[in-house]
């Protein structure tokens, strides 16, 4: 059963979207360029005790939000549990870099996030490549 405090108001949605510059805080695609648009993500899901407060809400494309689900992290190849990138406490550039059309993880948080969110699936890379060609996605090396 959901609680009234779990509800994300339209005003909160607007605040989160504006603070994110209307782009996914995980993969950096702009909502206008995301086929399914963007939505509000609970960084820590309600299921895990998170709440609908601005400090726990992120702007996410539907694809990133779908792959993230209610997960909080993942297991590395060495068996270590690592949390996902959290746009409320982390700096994107400390965990990832853009190289061509790929999002390259630079540490364990970046690695588990990129793997579970499937940042570098061929379809996602092709989409970023097309957007880069017309200047609508960041190009960095």
* Confidence (pLDDT) at 14: 98
pLDDT, greater one: 58 or 5: 58
| Within-domain flag for 141 | no
* Confidence (pLDDT) at 3: 64
Average pLDDT of the residues in 10-16: 97
| Within-domain flag for 95 | yes
* DSSP for residue 39: E
Give residue 126's domain range.
Answer: 4-133
Which tokens in the block code for residue 119? Answer: 């940042």
Residue bearing tokens 């200047």: 135
| Within-domain flag for 36 | yes
Average pLDDT of the residues in 78-99: 97
| Within-domain flag for 47 | yes
Task: Give the helix ranges, DSSP H, for the chain.
Answer: 10-19, 62-68, 108-117, 122-133
pLDDT, greater one: 138 or 24: 24
CB contact at 8 A, 40 and 25: no
| Within-domain flag for 64 | yes
Give the CA distances from residue 20 to residues 28, 29, 141, in Å, rounded to whole numbers and listed in that order: 9, 11, 23
| Within-domain flag for 140 | no
Which tokens in the block code for residue 97? Answer: 């870099």
| Within-domain flag for 16 | yes
* Confidence (pLDDT) at 4: 58
Number of domains in the chain: 1
Query: 0.85 cut: is pTM over it?
Result: yes
| Within-domain flag for 138 | no
CB contact at 8 A, 58 and 31: no
Residue bearing tokens 């086929």: 35
Q: How confident is the model at residue 119 (pLDDT cuts 50, 70, 90)?
A: very high
* Confidence (pLDDT) at 139: 79
Report angle CA 88, 91, 95 to the nearest 5 degrees: 120
């Amino acid at each position: 059963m959901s609680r009234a405090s779990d509800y994300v108001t339209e005003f909160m949605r607007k605040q989160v979207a504006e603070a994110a510059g209307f782009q996914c805080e995980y993969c950096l695609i702009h909502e206008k360029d995301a086929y399914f648009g963007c939505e509000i993500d609970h960084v820590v899901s309600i299921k895990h005790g998170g709440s609908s407060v601005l400090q726990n809400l992120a702007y996410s494309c539907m694809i990133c939000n779908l792959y993230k689900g209610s997960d909080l992290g993942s297991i590395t190849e060495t068996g270590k549990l690592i949390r996902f990138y959290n746009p409320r406490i982390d700096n994107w550039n400390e965990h990832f870099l853009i190289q061509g059309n790929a999002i390259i993880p630079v540490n364990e948080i970046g690695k588990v996030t990129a793997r579970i969110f499937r940042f570098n699936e061929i379809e996602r890379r092709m989409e970023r490549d097309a957007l880069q060609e017309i200047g609508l996605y960041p190009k960095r090396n």
